């Protein structure tokens, strides 16, 4: 089954980091296709007279220059991918001109394109990063629940994934997503880790909540609430063909801040990517959603996949 991924491109080193991340993980996967997407802000205030002089003009000169620049960034990104294992047939691109905010244009494309993931390169979360890029990633994380979001921070050199294990259907969906995307990479390893809040306990969702996706028979056989669903997560990975030798269960942890613990474990075990399930938009204000938000704010030189 083919995998289709949308990649936001702006010509910055941050979008190049996301390209290099995709090259590292998927350069040998011929079932992988990428659509590179650049957003061009439309200008034209006070320049309507141009259309009266030249009715065939589609855009103002400034908008056209921005489009030309965006297409150069897209061609450069495509060339970088092709130099590193991707074929031309696997890559398409669009420079989209819009009068709305770039975040809305990316969100709209992600919704309508039938993609399996949206990839965004992001700045480190210092004050400068928060000011110039934090609003873009924050908006998309808040609004885009239709497809998984991959946020790439810095240069990442590891093929290891830390899968955050929780007793919720969204966590099993995260396992399903990483298995589907990474199964063709023989070097990808998936480490299962559960972190509890120091003064709390992860609550198991009702078994019936899992039936719609996995079915009662599968759930009766594999759901293991007494073990925080470690066995169920591993089974989802194996159902996709992941070799059990590529799956490791780490000892459980307990920390005052789960987000810090996840990042600590990712660094300790040399993981380049943290994969997390998150509750639907309506439940995003709960503890589970708070952990994904906090992890995103603190992650540096890591990729974070948010599923759900």
**Are 33 and 49 within one domain?**
yes
Can you tell me whether residue 167 is helix, strand or coil? coil
**What does the pLDDT look like over 2-49, one tens digit per residue?**
999 999 999 989 999 999 999 999 999 999 999 999 998 886 544 444
**Are 192 and 143 within one domain?**
no
**Are 63 and 78 within one domain?**
yes
- Distance, in Å, from the CA atom of 114 to the CA atom of 117, rounded to the nearest integer, reads 9
**Are 179 and 303 within one domain?**
yes
pLDDT in tens, the chain (308 residues): 799 999 999 998 999 999 999 999 999 999 999 999 999 888 654 444 434 444 445 667 888 888 899 999 999 999 999 999 999 999 999 999 988 788 889 999 999 889 999 999 986 443 333 333 456 777 888 888 889 999 999 999 999 999 999 999 999 999 999 999 999 999 999 999 998 864 455 677 889 999 999 999 999 999 998 898 999 999 999 999 999 999 999 998 877 788 899 999 999 999 999 999 987 666 555 444 477 777 877 788 999 999 98
Which pLDDT value is given to residue 52? Answer: 43
Which pLDDT value is given to residue 123? Answer: 67
CA angle (68, 153, 24) in 5-degree steps = 80
**Are 149 and 274 within one domain?**
no
Which pLDDT value is given to residue 200? Answer: 53
Look up the CATH number of the domain holding residue 298: 3.40.50.620
Which residues lie below 8 Å from residue 218, measured CB to CB, with a gap of 6+? none
Domain range spanning residue 55? 3-153
Which pLDDT value is given to residue 283? Answer: 57
Buried b (16+ CB within 10 A) or exposed e, 44-66: eeeeeeeeeeeeeeebbeebeeb
Domain boundary residue, one of 153, 170, 196: 153
Which residues lie below 8 Å from residue 208, measured CB to CB, with a gap of 6+? none
pTM, entire model: 0.88
**Are 94 and 202 within one domain?**
no
Which pLDDT value is given to residue 302? Answer: 94
Which pLDDT value is given to residue 281? Answer: 63
Q: Pairing mode, if any, of strands 149-153 and 303-307?
A: antiparallel
**Are 19 and 131 within one domain?**
yes
User: Considering its fold, how many domains does the chain have in total?
Assistant: 2
- Distance, in Å, from the CA atom of 133 to the CA atom of 149, rounded to the nearest integer, reads 16
Contact (Cβ atoms closer than 8 angstroms) between residue 237 and residue 182: no
């Amino acid at each position: 089954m083919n995998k289709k991924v949308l990649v936001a491109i702006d010509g910055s080193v941050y979008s190049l980091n996301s390209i290099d991340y995709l090259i590292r993980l998927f350069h040998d996967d011929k079932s992988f296709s990428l659509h590179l997407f650049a957003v061009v802000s439309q200008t034209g205030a006070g320049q309507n007279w141009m259309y009266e002089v030249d009715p065939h003009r589609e855009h103002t000169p400034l908008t056209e220059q921005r489009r030309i620049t965006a297409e150069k960034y897209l061609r450069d990104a495509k060339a970088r991918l092709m130099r590193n294992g991707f074929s031309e047939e696997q890559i398409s691109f669009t420079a989209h001109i819009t009068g709305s905010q770039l975040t809305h244009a990316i969100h709209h494309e992600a919704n309508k394109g039938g993609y399996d993931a949206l990839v965004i390169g992001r700045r480190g979360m210092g004050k400068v990063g928060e000011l110039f890029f934090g609003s873009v990633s924050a908006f998309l994380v808040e609004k885009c629940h239709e497809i998984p979001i991959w946020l790439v921070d810095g240069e990442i050199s590891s093929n290891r994934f830390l899968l955050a294990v929780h007793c919720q259907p969204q966590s099993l969906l995260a396992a399903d997503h990483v298995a589907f995307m990474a199964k063709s990479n023989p070097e990808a390893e998936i480490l299962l880790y559960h972190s509890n809040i120091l003064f709390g306990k992860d609550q198991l969702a009702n078994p019936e909540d899992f039936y719609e996706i996995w079915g009662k028979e599968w759930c009766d056989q594999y759901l293991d609430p007494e073990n925080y669903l470690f066995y169920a997560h591993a089974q989802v990975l194996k159902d996709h063909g992941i070799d059990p030798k590529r799956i490791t269960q780490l000892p459980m942890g307990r920390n005052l801040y789960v987000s810090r613990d996840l990042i600590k474990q990712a660094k300790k075990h040399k993981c380049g990517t943290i994969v997390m399930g998150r509750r639907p938009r309506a439940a995003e204000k709960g503890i589970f959603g708070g952990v994904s938000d906090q992890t995103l704010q603190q992650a540096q030189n890591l990729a974070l996949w948010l599923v759900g």
